[in-house]
Chain A
Amino acid sequence: MAQKLIPELLVEDNKFCPGCGHGIVNRVLAEVLEELGLADKAVGSLAVGCGCLMMDTFGTDWVQAPHGRAAAVAVGVKRVRPECCVFTYQGDGDSLAIGFSETMYAAIRNENITAIIVNNGIFGMTGGQMAPTSLPGQRTTTSPKGRDAALTGQPLNIINQMKNLPVGYLARGSVDTAKEINKVKKYIRTGIETQMKGGGYSMIEILSPCPTNWKMTLQNSLDHIRSTVRATYPLGEFVKDGERTDA
Chain B
Amino acid sequence: MSYRLMKGNDALAEAAVRAGCRFFGGYPITPQSEILEYLSSRLPEVGGTFLQAESELSGINMVYGAAAAGFRAMTSSSGPGFSLLQEGISYIASAELPAVIVDVQRYGSGLGDIFQAQSDYHQATRGGGHGDYRMLVFAPSSVQESVDLMGLAFDKAEQYRNPCLILSDASIAQMMEPVKLPEMQEVDPDKPWAAKGKNGGDFKRITSTMYYIEDFDGYIKAKFDSMAAAEQRWENVEVEDADIVLVAYGISSRICKEAVAIARSRGIRLGLLRPITLWPFPTNAFKEVNSEVKAYLTVELSALPKLEDDVKIACEMKTPVKHFLGGANIPESSAIVEEAVSILNSREEVSWLKN
Residues of A participating in the B interface, judged by any CB pair closer than 8 Å: 11, 39-43, 45-46, 55-56, 59-66, 69, 72-81, 84-85, 101-102, 105
The main secondary structure of chain A at its interface with chain B is: mixed
Complex Cα distance A133/B29, Å?
34
Closest to B55 in A: A101
A-B pairs with beta carbons under 8 Å apart, 18 shown: A40-B199, A43-B195, A43-B196, A59-B203, A61-B205, A62-B195, A66-B61, A66-B87, A66-B91, A69-B88, A75-B62, A76-B25, A76-B61, A76-B64, A76-B69, A85-B197, A102-B57, A105-B58
Interface pair B62/A42, CB less than 8 Å apart: no
Given A65-B64, A73-B62, 8 other A-B residues pairs in contact with their CB atoms under 8 A: A56-B205, A60-B197, A61-B206, A63-B95, A66-B64, A72-B61, A76-B62, A101-B57
B110, CB-defined interface residue at 8 Å: no
Most buried by B among A62, A73, A81: A73
- List A contacts of B58 (CB < 8 A): 69, 72, 101-102, 105
Determine, out of B46-54, B286-294, B332-340, the stretch whose residues face the partner at the interface.
Answer: B46-54
Which B1-39 residues sit within 8 Å CB-CB of chain A?
Answer: 22-23, 25
- List A contacts of B66 (CB < 8 A): 76-77, 79-80
- List A contacts of B154 (CB < 8 A): none
- List B contacts of A81 (CB < 8 A): 69, 196
Complex Cα distance A56/B73, Å?
27
- List B contacts of A69 (CB < 8 A): 57-58, 61, 64, 88
Interface pair A77/B203, CB less than 8 Å apart: no
B207, CB-defined interface residue at 8 Å: yes
Q: Find A64's partner among B73, B189, B208 (CB 8 Å cutoff).
A: B208
| Nearest CB of chain B from residue A11's CB, rounded to whole Å | 8
Interface pair B51/A61, CB less than 8 Å apart: no
Closest to B207 in A: A64
Interface pair A80/B91, CB less than 8 Å apart: no
Known: A61-B198, A79-B51, A102-B54. Contact between A73 and B203, CB under 8 A?
no
Interface pair B69/A66, CB less than 8 Å apart: no
